[in-house]
A and B are shown apart, each in its own frame.
Chain A
Amino acid sequence: MAFTLIILLELTLLYLAFTERVKRFIFILMVQGLLLFGIAYLHLKQVNTLEFTFIVTETILIKGLLVPIFLNRLRKKNNLERLAHSKLPSFVSILAISAAIAFGFLLSEKIHDNDLQSKFFSASIAAIITGIYFVIIHRNIFTHVIGYLIIQNGVFLLSLAVGNEFPLIVNTAILLDIFVGVLVLGIFVNRVGERFEEMHIDELAQLKD
């Protein structure tokens, strides 16, 4: 069953390459949060209450609800663009993400390690590559943060891949990353958005002190 959810996760990554609307990106983050909850719950052998609440909080509450709602409000308040413009056409993105998924799969088959659970590893590689590709392709910093959050999801899966139990430290670190990333974006968009109209990184790269 866990593998089924992983496949659904990879399908959401493909949908990310396919769609062009920013609202959909946020929706995908929500779906991924839910899927990660399912995967984590099914995978962990022993679940005691503390860890269970931690997982629920991290995946459903933070990744699935809080962060998407926050991003959505940010988007609406600042009237950000509806379509995400990317430097390469979606056609190429779909090919690239499919290649990344296939690559993750092949890599996990080649590496036969006892400590490594191959199913999670392939999905995590795919998610990380997708996130990085996303950051490279898109011009808007808002979508950059979304790519960054996808990378965080990939790292979460990687933590599941290498261990059987729930590593508290790794997940706290992931939560901190998410928190900081979203916070910085929030501040940036709210404050900077009042002064400048553009969110394109080409324009922002010319900012001087």
Chain B
Amino acid sequence: MNVLGFVLAIISSLLIPGIITITKAKMSGKKGPGVFQPLFDIARLIRKGNVYSTTTSVIFQIGPIIYFASVVVALLFVPFGQYKGLLSFDADFVFFAYLLGIGKFMMIISAMDTGSGFEGMGANREALYSMLVEPIFFILMGSLALLTHYSSFYDLFVHIHYDSYLTYLIAALGVYLLLQIAMVENSRLPIDDPKTHLELTMIHEVMVLDNSGFDMGLINLATGLKFALYGGLIANFIFPVEWSLYAQIVVFIMVNLLFAVAVGLMESFRARNKLAKNPKWILMLSSISLIVFLCVIEITQKLL
């Protein structure tokens, strides 16, 4: 049964990028590609050969592989309703966060490996933003740990009881924060515009300028998987565990689809931040998570 969650997450990861593209296209009044177009692109990339820069070394070849592997193993931690993830233990969200960290480390150094100024720019920014995003996730998980008195992913989500307005507010803020963390980690608007062609303003896109073929396919797959990762976490916030299994599956898929549509809408109607304002924007998310923590303290104090 645990495998079911994992399989559903993989399926949604294949669909999410397509849905985002279609939403953005429809909002701009265009017809848009098919839902499976990103998949066809990835399949084509995986079949192609590679061009490696002479400046690069082994690091460049192994970076995308470690990145992809880290995202897949992180996906194994996401619980599905009343079923644990395939890997689950106390304080496993720490392992989850640092596993994504090793993926980022390898991407940053494989970008610097090319010796190009563009990729250095992207690597530099990516390192700074991922540093700023870490506390948000930990404070959020800490608040949930304080609320439910457990510490593993599965236990945290299973034991949230929606019994007061305040818990709903905490869940709403938690969903919002996870949504924004997903935008930052995948380098979408408002941090970074995936459609921009100006290297001076890119972050993630410019880090993978020199990747090609199989490596590029892996990186694109990993992007979809990361979306599914956060979609799965958001879904756990939303569906209550008392429902039947089929209802839970339907809710899970609906949440992921809505997540993709929401991302598409946010991307269509927002401008990207000025690059110098990005740290401030991410810090704002930290402050919101601090408020979530204060809310939880209020709840636990009242229960005393």
Point out residues on A near B: beta carbons under 8 Å. 1, 3-4, 7-8, 10-11, 14-15, 18, 89-91, 94-95, 97-98, 101-102, 105, 109, 119
Contacts and interface: CB of A to CB of B under 8 A. Distances in A.
B287 A14 contact: yes
B279 A101 contact: no
Nearest to B283: A94
A1 B287 contact: no
B161 interface: no
B283 A95 contact: yes
Nearest to A89: B280
A18 B291 contact: no
A3 B168 CA distance: 12
Interface string B218-261: 00000000000000000000000000000000000000000000
A109 B298 CA distance: 10
B298 A98 contact: no
A102 B169 contact: no
A49 B168 CA distance: 32
A11 B288 contact: yes
A1 B166 CA distance: 7
A97 B165 contact: no
26 contacts: A3-B165, A3-B298, A4-B168, A4-B169, A7-B166, A7-B291, A7-B294, A7-B295, A10-B291, A14-B284, A14-B287, A14-B291, A18-B280, A18-B281, A18-B284, A90-B280, A91-B280, A94-B280, A94-B287, A98-B290, A101-B290, A102-B290, A102-B294, A105-B297, A109-B301, A119-B298
B279 A91 contact: yes
B294 A101 contact: yes
B287 A4 contact: no
B37 to A, nearest CB: 37
Nearest to A122: B294
Contacts of B295: 3, 7
B287 A91 contact: no
Closest 9 CB pairs of A and B: A98-B287, A90-B280, A4-B165, A18-B284, A91-B280, A1-B165, A4-B169, A94-B283, A14-B287
Nearest to A1: B165
A85 B168 CA distance: 37
B298 to A, nearest CB: 6
A11 B280 contact: no
A97 to B, nearest CB: 7
A195 B98 CA distance: 60
Interface residues of B, number: 20
Contacts of B165: 1, 3-4
A44 B168 CA distance: 23
Interface of B: 165-166, 168-169, 277, 279-281, 283-284, 286-288, 290-291, 294-295, 297-298, 301
Contacts of A10: 291
A11 B291 contact: yes
Given A7-B166, A14-B284, A90-B277, 12 more contacts: A7-B291, A7-B295, A10-B291, A14-B288, A15-B284, A94-B283, A94-B284, A95-B283, A102-B290, A102-B294, A105-B294, A119-B298
A7 B263 CA distance: 26
Nearest to B169: A4
Contacts of B277: 90
B202 to A, nearest CB: 23
B84 to A, nearest CB: 32
Contacts of A91: 279-280, 283
Given A89-B280, A91-B283, A101 B169 contact: no
Contacts of B291: 7, 10-11, 14, 101
A194 B17 CA distance: 55
B126 to A, nearest CB: 19
Nearest to A97: B287
B302 to A, nearest CB: 9
B177 to A, nearest CB: 12
A7 B283 contact: no
A14 B285 CA distance: 10
A102 B293 CA distance: 10
Contacts of B286: 98
